[in-house]
Structure 1
Amino acid sequence: MHNRKEYLRHLLHTTEEWTIAEKEWMLQYLDGNDLSELEALAAEEFDADLASVKHTLDRQLSEKILEKIHRDMPAPETVPPRKTVRLYNWRAVAAAAAIMLMAGIGYLAFNRQSMKQQVVAATSERKTVKLPDGSLVSLEPGSTLQYPQRFGKQSREVSLDGEAFFEVAHNEKQPFVIHSSLINTTVLATSFNVEARNAREARVVVVSGRVQVQAKSQTAGREQAMIITANKSAVYSTSTDQLEMRDAEDDARFYAQKRMGKFIYKGVPLEKVVSDLERYYNATITTDVKIQGCVFNGDFDAADDLDKTLTLIAISLNASIHKNSSANSYTITGGSCQ
């Protein structure tokens, strides 16, 4: 064997039962004087130095793995007593313990991946989360994100309850999957918004790149999936059990500006500006009909409170702002298009 370390790696990561030949090879290796490859491999796999790996070796575990190696192996007709004794000397036992530890790599890796981190954005806050792969998730108020401490080698999977904007780090070999109650969203690298707040409707709006959306259809055996690109949305409704593609240029613009932290308007009808503010601040804003069509030029900082933003609009239109008795409700009255 030209590269014993790589062959050891192969044996210890294989999901198949070792063949008799592989078991015999391992026995011969354990019975040798040079076990440096095994020690080095154990250190690599556990992100530890050789000293810490050796410190964790255990005789009982070693004997168990040796027993596993011998299991189902036809016993040789004659086994020299000295050979048997030498097989179970401390060095071989220590090496076997390393094998036992490494045999659990897959299990430990699975547990690391399955150990979920949970981030909750309260009803009055927004949170930005940086995932293990460098992707960014901006959680809207009242939303919850779950993700593993480490992503698997085949995919990057998270769960969302609520609404969030995703900026996914590029990795062609690891598709990024967002699980929610009604849909699964799969991407390679892009920016998009997922809204899955209730059990009736879910929506994905793509700002850049492309996304595959798959509905968890209510009809058994029925699969619905589609690929959407920038300025498009996929909407799934339980009432119709349909996944539909829609134009979403305004939505994409809104999410892009929100992520940038600044809303910029050049000749945009006041009606659309107010709609954006209602969505962002979770407020109700009523305007006089005569000024709804007025165009607005200006920009708002996403960090500003709603009162300050509405004041800027009122000044530009020579209008007045009234805060209503109901929570987070405003009325813009008077004014005129200039």
Structure 2
Amino acid sequence: MEKADKHIDLISRYLANEANPGEIQQLFSWIELDIANKKQFEEFKKAWDFSETTFDEEISSIDVDAEWAAFNKQISTENNSKIISLNTKNTKKWPLLQIAAAIAAIFIIGGGILHIFSLQNNVLVAENKIIESKLPDGSHLSLNSNSELEYSKKFNEELREVKLKGEAFFDVAHNPKKPFIINTGKLKVEVKGTSFNINAKSTIGNVEVIVETGVVCIYSKEDKTDSVMLYAGDKAIFDNKKANISKKTNDDVNYLAWKTKVLKFDNNELQEIVNTLNNTYNAHIIIKNPSINKCTLTNDFVDQSLESILAVLEATLDLQINKKGEVYEINGQACEDSSKINR
């Protein structure tokens, strides 16, 4: 445990520009020793940079000794967790240990979940894993991997308001007196009690809202009067550039596959299948030969890995799928008779 403390101290000193040449060499030797060390350093630095504008005014009121003691106790009790202390690049030149403790200390990463305990807000970050959480008002949240949810520590006292980056499924506890509001980019989603999915991933360019149960009201932050009501089975697409909303009946049976891990394809074209897999598994799959885009597949997949699904596609559609780094490339010949490739 002393070694873990030492590395954390070294990273803190380095990021605070307080490390001497010998300590810098020691730190980078440790980073190069293992890919896990490099990842921990990068996560630590991300947390450090994040804190730059967060704690300028309130940091001096923290009980530094108590926070630092709690910090070290947390390190010794967390199993297989990575601990990231925060810092601020304030020109006041706070002492290193005071900063590391005062930033509330602490990002705790375990099981793919990053909890940020700041002075003002709570932030849930799902890193490479879907997480399930219950909010203070009793609402249930499924947060897709590489997504983030932020809410005030005063959440549910007067307002129920959150900020979403990425994708999440909400099952909102009913409370007519306190509407539940989700902010994502330029869009606001307001409900009193319902279940729905929001996809605001930067990769899709727009924000998609699909209602499972109940009623949802969505509107642009720029113009609340231009609101759209969504009912169970409805889908809305918010164009970030034009700030307008289109509404239609949802025909995507796989929109919750990222959460349920159930995929259903019924004579779907390969390009559509690839789009679904990319969204479900946060993958990067590309079709190299456009002539195979129209190849179709009928098959169901339940709780299967991306690799096993790609193996089925490869065998069934007579494709060649190669992985280069983090990218899957699909090649093959145009399909002459789609009836021969359905199963």
**Which TM-score applies when normalising by structure 1?**
0.55
Hey, what does 1:283 align to over in structure 2? 284
TM-fit CA distance, 1:194: 1.9
Task: State whether residues 271 and 292 of structure 1, in contact with CA within 8 Å, keep that contact through their aligned partners in structure 2.
Answer: yes
Task: State whether residues 202 and 235 of structure 1, in contact with CA within 8 Å, keep that contact through their aligned partners in structure 2.
Answer: yes
Hey, what does 1:223 align to over in structure 2? 225
Aligned residue-pair number: 216
Aligned partner of residue 309 in structure 2, secondary structure: helix
Hey, what does 1:321 align to over in structure 2? 320
Which residues of 2 match residues 159-178 of structure 1 at below 5 A?
159-178=163-182
1:207–1:293 CA distance, 2 compared to 1 (3 A): farther
> Distance in 1 between the 2:149 and 2:173 partners?
17
Hey, what does 1:274 align to over in structure 2? 274
Q: Which has the larger radius of gyration?
A: 1
> Distance in 2 between the 1:288 and 1:161 partners?
32
Q: Which has the higher strand share?
A: 2
Hey, what does 1:240 align to over in structure 2? 242
Which residues of 2 match residues 1-338 of structure 1 at below 5 A?
115-122=120-127, 124-149=128-153, 151-152=155-156, 154-197=158-201, 201-217=206-222, 223-250=225-252, 253-281=253-281, 282-286=283-287, 289=291, 292-301=294-303, 304-317=304-317, 319-325=318-324, 327-334=326-333, 336-338=340-342
> Distance in 1 between the 2:149 and 2:122 partners?
8
> Distance in 1 between the 2:201 and 2:264 partners?
27
Task: State whether residues 232 and 249 of structure 1, in contact with CA within 8 Å, keep that contact through their aligned partners in structure 2.
Answer: no
TM-fit CA distance, 1:213: 0.5
TM-fit CA distance, 1:331: 0.7
Q: Structure 2: state its 5+ residue gaps.
A: 1-118
Q: Which has the higher helix share?
A: 1
Task: State whether residues 292 and 332 of structure 2, in contact with CA within 8 Å, keep that contact through their aligned partners in structure 1.
Answer: no
Task: State whether residues 136 and 156 of structure 2, in contact with CA within 8 Å, keep that contact through their aligned partners in structure 1.
Answer: no
Task: State whether residues 132 and 143 of structure 2, in contact with CA within 8 Å, keep that contact through their aligned partners in structure 1.
Answer: yes
Q: List per-residue Cα deviations over 1:203-260 (Å, max 9, x = no partner).
A: 322233221012012xxx773211112333333334323233244321xx22233322
Task: State whether residues 192 and 206 of structure 1, in contact with CA within 8 Å, keep that contact through their aligned partners in structure 2.
Answer: yes
Task: State whether residues 270 and 296 of structure 1, in contact with CA within 8 Å, keep that contact through their aligned partners in structure 2.
Answer: no
1:208–1:222 CA distance, 2 compared to 1 (3 A): closer
State the percentage of identical aligned residues: 26
Q: Which amino acid aligns with 2:255?
A: Y
Q: Structure 1: state its 5+ residue gaps.
A: 1-113
TM-fit CA distance, 1:329: 1.9
Q: Which amino acid aligns with 2:126?
A: A
RMSD over aligned CA atoms reads 3.1
> Distance in 2 between the 1:332 and 1:139 partners?
33
> Distance in 2 between the 1:268 and 1:222 partners?
38
Task: State whether residues 278 and 285 of structure 2, in contact with CA within 8 Å, keep that contact through their aligned partners in structure 1.
Answer: yes
> Distance in 1 between the 2:144 and 2:332 partners?
30
TM-fit CA distance, 1:308: 1.4
Q: Which amino acid aligns with 1:129?
A: S
Task: State whether residues 291 and 337 of structure 1, in contact with CA within 8 Å, keep that contact through their aligned partners in structure 2.
Answer: no
> Distance in 1 between the 2:272 and 2:183 partners?
31
> Distance in 1 between the 2:266 and 2:175 partners?
36
1:297–1:239 CA distance, 2 compared to 1 (3 A): closer
> Distance in 2 between the 1:328 and 1:167 partners?
34
1:172–1:222 CA distance, 2 compared to 1 (3 A): closer
Q: Which amino acid aligns with 1:224?
A: D
> Distance in 2 between the 1:259 and 1:297 partners?
19
**Which TM-score applies when normalising by structure 2?**
0.54
> Distance in 1 between the 2:240 and 2:276 partners?
26
Task: State whether residues 134 and 169 of structure 1, in contact with CA within 8 Å, keep that contact through their aligned partners in structure 2.
Answer: yes
TM-fit CA distance, 1:268: 4.1
